Chain A
Amino acid sequence: MTNTSMQPNTQMQGGYAAKRRAANTAIYIILSVMVLIWIFPIFWLLMQSFRGETGVSKNYIFPKQWTFNNYVKLFNDEHFHYGQWILNTFIVAVVACVVSTLVILMVSYALSRLRFKSRKTLLNCGLVLGMFPGFMSMAATYNLMNTFGLAKSLVGLVIVYSAGAGLGYQVSKGFFDTIPRSLDEAAKIDGATKNQIFWRIILPLSKPIIVYTALTTFIGPWGDYIFVSYFMKQHSENWTVALGLYNMLEKEYIFDYFTTFCAGAVFIAIPITILFIFMQKFYVAGVTGGAVKG
């Protein structure tokens, strides 16, 4: 292709270039159409969140009456307490994030860089445990929490989100696997214990994976509906954002609250979208790392 300019036949070259230009134009058109399709629902959501008229079914996209009231209503509505949901989700997300990140780092470090007798067995057990459908044992977990008196509480929710974290070691284990072993050995010769190697050598090198793990575990509770709906049920003061927003679309509320729902969805989506765009590189590295290794 780079050699085309050296070809003597200018007529052929012209035809070739025209063909390329046509192909590129076609790609631009296809991409633009696809972007329109992909962005439309998000754009529609954004428009609805600024709509002054109540109700769901409207035969126009742009609001007839632009307003910011839906966002205001979110935070001072007597029926739905969006502020409370955000606070709940934030508390749960922060605690779950700290606990899960610690757990994941500990497990993946041990399974990646330490050698002990039961290591292979543990790896296989982790693989098998991960194959059970996530919410199959949801009812049992609820029972368990109930006997501890933690059902319907935020503490119980934190435990649910972070107790299983030990199984999510794959991505960070993959990362630890790539750190050269010679580092450990050099430190060992200098008299460092494994504990010191972990804290002083490996962790400082692992900032990217720590950030990735923390972000994914932080985002998790914001998007979870299944567990939280089963755990909190009608206990509305402990609802999280996802559960609350879902309830706004129930039949009895949807007419009055649809635009409020849109505002709430936009409000929550903005920070999470920014976080995701920030960490997409890690996401790709994590998934493709596993894919290439098989």
Chain B
Amino acid sequence: MNYLDYVQMTTGQKISYKIKSFFTGIPGAIATIFRVIGLFFKSLFVFIGNGFKNYGKRFSDGDAGTKLSYIIMGAGSIMHKQIGKGLVFLAAQIGYIVFMVNFGSIYLSKIYCNNVTIQSRPGKIFNGVVGSEAPIKKMTLLKEEVINQDSIDDSNKILLFFCLTIMVTIAFFAFYIMNTKSAYASEQIIKEGKQPMGTVEELKMFLDDRFHVTLLSVPITLLLIFNVLPIIFTVCLAFTNYDEDHLAPGTLYWWVGFKNFADVFYSNPMKSETFGKVLLWTLVWAVFATFSNYILGIILALMINKKEIKFKGFWRTMFVITAAVPQFVTLLVMRTLLDDKAGFNALFGTQIPFLSDVAWARVMVIVVNIWVGVPYTMLISSGLLMNIPEDLYESARIDGANAVQQFTKITFPYIFFVTTPYLITTFVGNINNFNVIFFLTRGGPNPASYYRAGQTDLLVTWLYELTVETNDFNLAAVIGIFVFVVCASGSLITFNMSKSAKNEEEFS
């Protein structure tokens, strides 16, 4: 089908074509993803392979200084008259050794311990923390039994510092490779009869050619410590038995392999059933929340932006005010208004279980979400409506198109095609929409058949409850990983598709 055919279709045909190509595009997009993943691994292996090759080549080609820098970092640089740089490398190596001896090795050795021995006698030292399945199943320890609090290992600390040690080691390794490269490069420069860069010159590079290093080093370090490290830690928790029976620091927890995943997905009937139901409701919620907001928001924007409508600023401001009030305030107000006794029920003397009956609660969270979200959609689609080139309408008018035709032929296709990516981001956002559910129902009503979840709980609010209220950190981690995988792969697929769609048909 070429472009001309596409243009000649009616709007209905265009939409059905769009929908059809959306679904027929899915296998292609999935294939693309696997191809991309394959390419990624291929380039990764090539990168590692080349890295080793060059690493060896630099060693065999290099002079004594370069060779020495393979053992003592910075030696090459110092011998090639780059004293400042060499000292930095040397300091890094000494620092790393000190770090490993005093800190890292302790946590590396404790991370996997087969021989967990527990002595209930006071003052005895525990060894091994995140070990394998322990020989003694019952490991609960009463705090009163302990005289020396410091002698007990804290599983959290060990796992956290283990992850930290691994990250430091990777960073050090990168630095080490940099050191050998730098030694080799300066050797080549000397061979060419030139002078390698001095320390001052090298530092100046950080304001010019290497300015990205200067700009990015602090943000990336912050991210690595306070964002990546906790994420790695949490992912590790999914493979441990860190739950309310194994609460660190009082009690130890240890590795259990894929048991938690099995529990959530099939083997534990209560957990897996809860997971299935919560997942289903999450999807239903995401579909309704996304499309209700989208459609109503666009209709509202169209009404406000209609040419003959006056006081546009007034209408817009009225809706923006509701969006501008902090969400926790509006949602807490809504919760009170929908209370069993207060709010609307008190005003009208009714007794409608807005948030305490399943069906009512599910409808009400979607309705309140409309109330919360429509002003945003209105704002955004107003912006889009203004972006529609005015000459399109002009030429349509000259051709004698009426208002309805202008809408179906110009406005609607434009908005629909332009906002498809936005729609997808909102969908993913709604899967993770924490606030509305948490502040309105907190997941409730909570039937006994659910494992610590309620009937309006989304995966993320369930995750929150498991973390904060019931201390099932391992299950929370499994759910977090699941949500991540779903959102990431979904976004990647649609991202790929919208990219290919953009090449196929352009709105004109």
Contacts and interface: CB of A to CB of B under 8 A. Distances in A.
B325 A273 contact: yes
A288 B380 contact: yes
A117 to B, nearest CB: 10
Interface string A12-54: 0000000010001001101100110111011011000000000
B432 to A, nearest CB: 6
Chain B interface, DSSP helix/strand/loop, else mixed:
helix
Nearest to B431: A133
Contact of A246 (B332, B400, B419): B332
A30 B306 CA distance: 13
Contacts of B477: 136
Contact of A166 (B220, B321, B468, B484): B220
Contacts of A198: 211, 215
A136 B495 CA distance: 24
A60 B342 CA distance: 11
A276 B223 contact: no
Interface string A102-113: 010011011000
Contacts, number: 274
Contact of B488 (A2, A131, A246, A265): A131
B233 interface: yes
B35 interface: no
A190 B157 CA distance: 54
* Residue picked from B216, B234, B439, B484, most chain A C-beta under 10 Å: B216
Contacts of B487: 131
Interface string A86-117: 00000000000000000100110110001010
Interface string B285-329: 000000000000000100110101100000101111111111111
A37 to B, nearest CB: 8
A106 B321 CA distance: 32
- Which bucket holds chain A's interface residue count? 35 or more
Contact of A1 (B317, B320, B321, B403): B403
B480 A30 contact: no
B460 interface: yes
Given A1-B397, A59-B347, A166-B219, A265 B318 contact: no
A25 to B, nearest CB: 11
B476 interface: yes
Interface string A165-177: 1110000000000
B134 interface: no
Given A128-B488, A272-B326, A59 B349 contact: yes
A35 B234 contact: no
A42 B491 CA distance: 36
A229 B464 CA distance: 12
A235 B309 CA distance: 53
B53 interface: no
Contact of B464 (A58, A135, A141, A222): A135
Interface stretch (B84-92, B98-106, B382-390): B382-390
Contacts of A39: 318, 321-322
A135 to B, nearest CB: 6
A38 B319 contact: yes
A163 interface: yes
Given A133-B463, A292-B387, A116 B346 contact: no
Nearest to A37: B371
Interface residues of B, number: 102
Contacts of A57: 339, 341-343, 345-346
B229 interface: yes
Given A39-B322, A41-B333, A56-B336, A31 B346 contact: no
A140 B234 contact: yes
Given A20-B308, A41-B337, A195-B211, A132 B231 contact: yes
Interface in B190-249: 204, 207-209, 211-212, 214-216, 218-220, 222-223, 225-231, 233-234, 237
User: 6 closest Cβ contacts across the A-B interface?
Assistant: A136-B480, A163-B226, A276-B324, A140-B230, A137-B230, A57-B346
Interface of B: 156-157, 160, 204, 207-209, 211-212, 214-216, 218-220, 222-223, 225-231, 233-234, 237, 300, 303-304, 306, 308-309, 315, 317-330, 332-334, 336-337, 339, 341-343, 345-347, 349, 371, 374-375, 379-380, 382-384, 387, 397, 400, 402-403, 418-422, 425, 432, 434, 438-439, 460, 463-464, 467-468, 473, 476-477, 480, 483-484, 487-488, 491, 495, 498-499, 502
Given A103-B218, A135-B467, 19 more contacts: A35-B319, A41-B330, A56-B346, A58-B347, A109-B215, A133-B484, A135-B464, A136-B484, A137-B480, A140-B230, A140-B237, A195-B207, A198-B215, A242-B326, A261-B332, A272-B324, A276-B324, A277-B317, A294-B495
19 contacts: A24-B309, A39-B322, A42-B330, A57-B341, A133-B463, A136-B476, A137-B231, A137-B480, A143-B230, A144-B225, A144-B229, A165-B222, A223-B326, A226-B434, A261-B332, A268-B329, A273-B325, A275-B324, A294-B498
